[in-house]
Chain A
Amino acid sequence: MGRYIVRRLLQMFLVLFVVSLLTFATMRAVPGGPFSTEKNLPPRALAQLEAKYNLDEPLYMQYLHYMGDIAIPRLTENRLPPSVLNDYLINIYIPGIDRTLRWMNFGPSYKSVSQTVNSIIKSTLPVSATLGTGALIVAVFIGIPAGVIAALKRNTRWDYAAMSVAIIGVSVPVIISGPILRYVFGVQLKWLPPTGWGSFEHMIMPAFALGFAESARLARLTRASLLQVLNEDYIRTARAKGLHERIVIGIHALKNAMIPVVTTLGPLFAFLATGSFVAELIFGIPGMGKFFVVSITNRDYPVIMGTTLLLATFVILANLFVDLVYVWLDPRIQYS
C-alpha cells in the first residue's frame, strides 16, 4: 500500500507538469494580454511592465522561468524584504546556517499589485475550503439518506418525494437558488445576512445552495447504486441467514453501494473546496472562485496557472483518497 501511494504521488508530478504545459499554452493562445485596457497604455509603460514580469522573453523561457520558480527550492538569506517573503509558499528556517529554504513561488499577480499568487491562495483557499466542506456536509447528509430511503421504499410516496426533490435540486442551479435564498432568508425574513463572510450564519445559505444541488445528484446515484446492490445474490444470502434487516442494509448493502458514490465525492470536494464563482458572487464571499474567474478575464497568467495547478492537485489527491477508501469499502480491492 505504501509503495502504491508513493507511486501515485510521483505520477501526480507528471500530471501536474502536463497540466501546467497545457494551461500555459492555452492561456497564451487566447487573444488579449494582461495589460490590455480600454485606455491605451503608452508603449514605454507596456515595455516596462513586460520587462518587470519577464514577458519580453521568448515563451519557452517564460515557461521555464515560471516552472523553475515553483519547482526549485532556494536557500536564501533569512532577512529579506517583506515583499519577497510573500512570494514563497513554503519557508523553512534552518537555524544552523541562519538561512531559509524557500520553495514554490507561483509568481506575482499582474492585476492585484500588492498580492502574489501565494498570498491570494493563502487568503482565499481557507474560505473556499470552509464553504466547500459545508456544502459537502449538506450534500452528504441530505443526498445519501434521501437516496437510501428512496431505494428502500422503492415506488412508494417516499421514493417519489425524494426523487422529486432531487430533480428540483438538479434542475435549479445555484445561480437561481442562490438569489432566491438570499431574498427569502436575507431580505424578507432577515434571519441570515444576505452576503458576506466571517460567521457561521454567513455560511448557511451558500453552503445550502451549493450542497443542495449536489445532494440531488448524490441522492439519485445512491438510490440507483443501492437498488442494484439489493438485487445481488449475497444480499439474498444474508437475509436467508436470518440477519437483521438493519445489518443487511447497513453493513452488506450500503458499503458496496457507496463505491460509486464515494467515487464522485472526491472530485466533488476538490471542486467545491477550490471555489464556486457563482456562489461567491451571489453571496459576496472572498473565495478562490472569484479570483480565478476574474484572472481569466484579466489574463492574469500567474493567477490562472497557480489556481489551475492547485485545483489539479486537489483533484489528484482527492482521487487518491477515494482509491484508498475503496479498500476499506471492499476488501477484495488490492493495490499491489
Chain B
Amino acid sequence: MSGKFARFVSLALVVVLVLSFAASTITAQEGKKVLIDANALGASDVPTLDPSLATDTSSIQVLIETNPGLTRTNEITLVTEPGMATWEVSEDGLVYTFSILPEVPWVKYNPETDAVEQVLDADGNPRYVTAEDFAFGIRRSIGGQLGSYYGGIMAGWVLNGKEVYDGTKPVEELGVKALDTYTLEITATQPAAFLSSIFGMWQAYAQPAWVIEEAGDLWTEPEYFQGYGPYTLKDWVHGESVTLIKNPFWPGTDTIPVATIDEVRMLILDQSASLANFEAGTADIAQVPLADLDRIRADATLSEALYIGPSGCTYIYGINTAKPPVDDVRVRRALSMTVNRQALIDNVLKGGQTPAYFFSREDILAAAPKAADYPQYAISEDVDAAKALLQEYLDERGITLEQMEPITLMHNESEGHARIAQAIQQMWTENLGINVTIQTQEWGTYLETIKNETSAPQVFRYGWCLDYTDTHNFLYDVFHSSVRELGISWHDENAQRFDQLVEQAMSETDLQKRTDLYAEAEYLLTNASAAVIPIYFYTNLNMTQPWVTRTYSHFGQQYYEKWDIDLAAKP
C-alpha cells in the first residue's frame, strides 16, 4: 500500500514537471543573425515600455530602437543628429520645425506568422508615423496627468508646458503643433543650445493613440505594442528577457541604418549570471562584475573581449551643509582635498574609472569644462592644506579635534559602495584624524533619509547619470535652486552666483563662453563652497564575443542596427 502510494506520488510529480515544460520549448532558427545581449537590461524586469513613463536605462534602451525620436545622439561623437526628422530653428531660437521622414509605417510583430507586419487603419491603409503622432506623444507626456517625470522635465522647455503640466492650462495650448502630415512645430519657452537634444528624448517619441485608447496600460505588452524603428518588440517575458526583431519596413537613414542583425534578445540577468553566459558561449555581450575583473584581465582570450569606455554617470558624495561640522566650508573642502581619487580607483574600483574633480562629466557632455583646463577652479588633493583648513576651523571654534562632532558617512546597501566608503573613511581618518562612522540603509529608506535636511547625515553617496549630453543636465538640472535634485539645500552666497552662471550658460551660443561659465559654476559647487565631493566618473565595462562587430556607446544605450554578426566565425 505504502509503496504503491509513494510510486503514484512520485509518478504524478514527474508528470506534472514534464507537462509544465510542454508549452515552452525554445527552437533555434537556422541562418538567422540573433544577438544575445546579457548586458543591456540588468537584473530587474524592465519597468515600462511607455515612452511617457520611462525613467530607467533599460526601458529607454528598448524604446530607442523601437520608437526613435525626432533627433538622436550619436553614440560615439555625442553630436545630436537627425533621428526621425531633420529640423530648422527660427532666428530667435524659439521655434523648432521638424520635417519628419515620410511614409515610415507603424509596425507590429505577428506571432502567428512570425513576421513584422504593417499596421493598417480602419480603411485598410497603412498607418504612417505622422507629426500628429509625435504631437500626441508630447501632449500625453506633459499634459496626460500620468505623473510623468520626464514630461515634467520637458514641460519647462515647451511653450505653456509648465502650466499644462500643472493643470492650469488646457493641453491644447501646449506649444506643439502638427503643421501638416509630416511637419511638426515645437515652440520653446527660451532658446537653448541643447533643445534639439531634449526634443529627441523618449518622452517626445511618437505614440500610437489608437492602441493606447484600446488597450490602456496594456498597450506596451507584445500583444498590442506598435513601433516604427529599425527594430520592433517581438517578445517580453517579464523578469527574463526582451526580444527585438528587425523591422523590414524601416527605410534606413544615414544616422539610423537598416539593421543587419535579425533579432536581439536582451536577457534580464545580474552581472555574475551575465558573465557566466558569456563564458559558456550562450551570450554575445555581457556585463563584468568587479570581482572578476582581475581574472578577466589575466586571461588572454577574455581580456581581448573586454572593453572599458566612458559611461554617463558621476559618483559623488553629497554633503548636508546644514549639519555641523560640515556646515563650515573649511571642513567640507578639507574632506574633498583628502580623498585620493586615483588611489581609490587603482586599489578599490580597478575598472579604469577617471578621477572627478568637477561634477559634470568632462568627457561626454557638450560645454563641459575639463578640470585640467581650469586648474585655478578645480579642487586639489592636498593633505597639508586640508589639515591647515581644519585646524583653522577648530581654532575659530575653540575646540579640539576630539571635541568636533563625529561625521556620519552613509550609503545604500551595496558591496561596491561599502568598499568605497571604507577606503574614504580610512583616508579621512589617517589624513585628518577625524572620527567617521559609516552607516548603511536599504535603498527605499536611504532615499527618504538623504532627501530631508533633518534626517540626512553629514555625507552621503549619490550619483547622477545623464539624460542628454549637455552640461546643463548636470549643473542646472541637479543643483539650480529651482530644482535641487539632491533635496539638500546649499545656502551660502555662492549658491546665488551659481544660479546666475548656469542660467546664463543656458542661452549662451558661443561654446567656449558656455564652457567658461560652467567652469566657474563648477568652481563654486565643488571648490569654493565644496557643496559636493566629486569622486570619479563611471566607466562602462563589458564583454563582446569576437564574432560581433559593434559600436560602443559612450552614454549608455546601444544602437544595434549598426552592429553585425559574422555567422561563419561563430562556433
Chain A contacts to B: CB under 8 angstroms: 30-33, 35-42, 44-49, 52, 81-84, 86, 108, 111-115, 120, 123-124, 126, 129-130, 133-134, 136-137, 141, 179, 182-183, 186-187, 190, 193-200, 203, 250-251, 254-255, 281-287, 290-291, 294, 297-299, 328
A48, A82, A137: the one contacting B13 at CB < 8 Å is A137
CA gap between A37 and B147 in the complex, in Å: 13
Assuming the A-B contacts A199-B26, A286-B238, are A126 and B20 also in contact, with contact meaning beta carbons closer than 8 angstroms in the complex? yes
Smallest beta-carbon distance B217→chain A, Å: 5
Contact call A114/B218, Cβ cutoff below 8 A:
yes
- Do A199 and B25 have beta carbons less than 8 Å apart? yes
Shortest Cβ distance from residue B236 to the other chain A in the assembled complex, whole angstroms:
9
B224 to chain A, nearest CB (A): 8
Out of A114, A182, A199, name the residue touching B48 (CB < 8 Å): A114
Of B151, B240, B282, the most chain A CB neighbours within 10 A belong to: B240
Measured in the bound complex, the distance between the Cα atoms of B177 and A332 in whole Å is: 82
B269 touches A284 (CB 8 A): yes
Q: Mark B136-166, 1 if CB is under 8 A from A, else 0.
A: 0000000001111101100000000000011
User: A41 is contacted by which of B3, B147, B215, B272 (Cβ under 8 Å)?
Assistant: B147
Please tell me if the beta carbons of A113 and B48 are within 8 angstroms of each other in the complex: yes
B122 at the interface (CB under 8 A from A): no
Let me know if B20 and A197 touch, CB within 8 A: no
Within 8 A of A (CB), among B482-507: 483-485, 487
**One of B251-259, B418-426, B442-450, B551-559 contacting the partner:** B442-450
Q: A82-B216, A198-B25, A198-B26 are in contact. Are A123 and B238 (CB under 8 A)?
A: yes
B443 touches A297 (CB 8 A): yes
The residue on A at minimum CB distance from B451 is A40
Q: Which 7 A-B pairs have the closest CB atoms?
A: A32-B444, A83-B216, A286-B239, A49-B147, A286-B240, A113-B48, A48-B147
Complex-state Cα separation, A303 to B505, whole angstroms: 45
Chain B interface size band reads 35 or more
Residues from chain B with Cβ under 8 Å of A286 in the complex? 237-240, 268
In addition to A113-B48, A120-B238, 18 A-B residue pairs with Cβ atoms within 8 Å of each other are: A31-B444, A36-B448, A37-B149, A45-B149, A48-B147, A83-B217, A111-B47, A113-B50, A113-B217, A114-B50, A124-B239, A137-B10, A187-B279, A193-B280, A196-B240, A199-B26, A200-B21, A297-B442
Of A38, A194, A251, which one neighbours B276 at CB under 8 angstroms? Answer: A194
A-B residue pairs in contact (CB < 8 Å), sample of 23:
A31-B448, A37-B55, A38-B463, A38-B464, A42-B149, A44-B166, A45-B147, A48-B145, A83-B216, A111-B47, A120-B238, A124-B239, A126-B20, A133-B20, A134-B17, A198-B24, A199-B24, A199-B25, A200-B21, A284-B268, A286-B238, A290-B45, A290-B239
**Pairwise interchain contact B444-A298, C-beta atoms closer than 8 A:** yes
Q: How far is the CB of B292 from chain A (nearest CB, A)?
A: 11
Which residues between 453 and 474 of chain B lie within 8 Å of chain A, taking CB atoms? 462-464
Known contacts A194-B282, A198-B24: does B449 contact A31 (CB below 8 Å)? yes
With a cutoff of 8 Å between Cβ atoms, the chain A residues found around residue B221 in the complex are 114
Chain A residues with CB under 8 Å of B25's CB are 198-199
In the complex formed, the residue of B with least CB distance to A129 is B20
Alpha-carbon distance between A281 and B239 when the two chains are bound, in angstroms: 10
In the complex, A214 Cα to B186 Cα: how many Å? 62
Cβ of B2 within 8 Å of any chain A Cβ, yes or no, is yes
Which B29-66 residues have a C-beta within 8 angstroms of A?
43-45, 47-50, 53, 55
Bound: A98/B178 CA distance, A:
44
- State the majority secondary structure of interface residues on A: helix
| CB–CB B21/A195 < 8 A | no
Decide if B26 touches A115 in the complex (CB within 8 Å). Answer: no
Q: Which residues of B contact A45 (CB under 8 A)?
A: 147-149, 151-152
Residues of chain A lying within 8 A (CB to CB) of residue B269? 195, 284
B147 touches A52 (CB 8 A): yes
In chain B between 93 and 118, which residues have their CB closer than 8 angstroms to a CB of chain A?
none
Task: Type the 1/0 row for B262-278, where 1 means its CB is closer than 8 Å to any CB of A.
Answer: 00000111101100110
Chain A CB within 8 A of B433 CB: no
Q: How far is the CB of B424 from chain A (nearest CB, A)?
A: 20
* CB proximity of B551 to chain A, nearest CB, Å: 26
Residues of B within 8 A of A (CB): 2-3, 5, 10, 13-14, 16-18, 20-21, 24-26, 43-45, 47-50, 53, 55, 145-149, 151-152, 165-167, 214-221, 224, 237-240, 267-270, 272-273, 276-277, 279-282, 442-449, 451, 462-464, 483-485, 487
Name which of A190, A196, A328 has the most chain B CB atoms within 10 A of its CB.
Answer: A196
Q: Which residues of B contact A38 (CB under 8 A)?
A: 447, 462-464, 485
Partner of B280, one of A46, A129, A134, A190: A190
- Bound CA span A150–B78, Å: 67
Measured between beta carbons, the chain B residues less than 8 angstroms from A328 are: 5
- Minimum C-beta distance from B4 to chain A (A): 12
Min Cβ gap B473→A in Å is: 11
Asked if B147 and A35 make an inter-chain contact with CB atoms under 8 angstroms apart, the answer reads: yes
User: A130 contacts B26, CB within 8 Å?
Assistant: no
Enumerate chain B residues within 8 angstroms of A31, measured Cβ to Cβ. Answer: 444-445, 448-449
Minimum Cβ distance to chain B for residue A117 (Å): 12
A-B CB pair tally, cutoff 8 Å: 195
Q: How far is the CA of A48 from the CA of B17 in the complex (A)?
A: 45
* Cβ contacts under 8 Å, B483 to chain A: 40
Cβ-defined contact, B17 with A108, below 8 A: no
Q: Are B273 and A130 in contact (CB under 8 A)?
A: no
The complex places the Cα of A196 from the Cα of B98 at a distance, in Å, of 44
Assess whether B152 is in contact with A44, with CB atoms less than 8 Å apart. yes
What is the CA–CA distance of A197 and B21 in the complex, to the nearest angstrom? 9
Considering the chains assembled together, what is the distance between the CA atoms of A298 and B273 in angstroms?
22
> Closest CB-CB distance, A304 to chain B, in whole Å?
11
Q: Judging by beta carbons under 8 Å apart, are A46 and B21 in contact?
A: no
What residues of chain B lie closer than 8 Å to A255, measured between beta carbons?
A: 2
A30 cross-chain contacts in B, Cβ below 8 A:
444-445
CB contact between A250 and one of B2, B237, B485 (< 8 Å): that residue: B2
State how many angstroms separate the Cβ of A331 from the closest Cβ of chain B.
12
Instruction: Assess the B48–A198 pair: CB atoms within 8 A.
Output: no
CA of A126 to CA of B22 in the docked complex: distance in angstroms?
13
A36-B145 Cα distance, complex, nearest whole Å: 18
- CB within 8 A of A199: which of B21, B217, B268, B487? B21
CA distance A26 to B114 in the complex (A): 47
Minimum CB distance partner of A48 in chain B: B147
Question: What is the CA–CA distance of A44 and B163 in the complex, to the nearest angstrom?
Answer: 11
Chain B residues near A44 (CB-CB < 8 A): 152, 165-167
- For the complex formed, measure the closest distance between the CB of A24 and the CB atoms of chain B, giving whole angstroms: 16
One of B16, B152, B216 near A133 (C-beta < 8 A): B16
From A183, A200, A290, residue with most partner B Cβ within 10 Å: A290
Give A250 to B215 CA distance when docked, in angstroms: 59
Min CB–CB distance B273 → chain A (angstroms): 5
* Residue from the set A39, A193, A286, A294 with the largest chain B CB neighbour count within 10 Å: A39
* Beta-carbon contact of A81 and B14 below 8 Å: no
A287 to B24, CA, bound (A): 15
Interface centre among A38, A48, A115, A136, by most B CB within 10 Å? A38
What CA separation (Å) do A234 and B139 show in the bound complex? 81
Q: How far is the CA of A287 from the CA of B31 in the complex (A)?
A: 32
A7 to chain B, nearest CB (A): 26
CB distance from B68 to the nearest CB of A (A): 21
In the complex, A114→B50 CA distance in Å?
9
Beta-carbon contact of A182 and B152 below 8 Å? no
With A82-B218, A179-B272, A194-B273 already in contact, the answer to whether A42 and B55 are too (CB < 8 A) is no
Alpha-carbon distance between A35 and B149 when the two chains are bound, in angstroms = 10
> In the complex, A62 Cα to B551 Cα: how many Å?
50
A45 to B149, CA, bound (A): 7
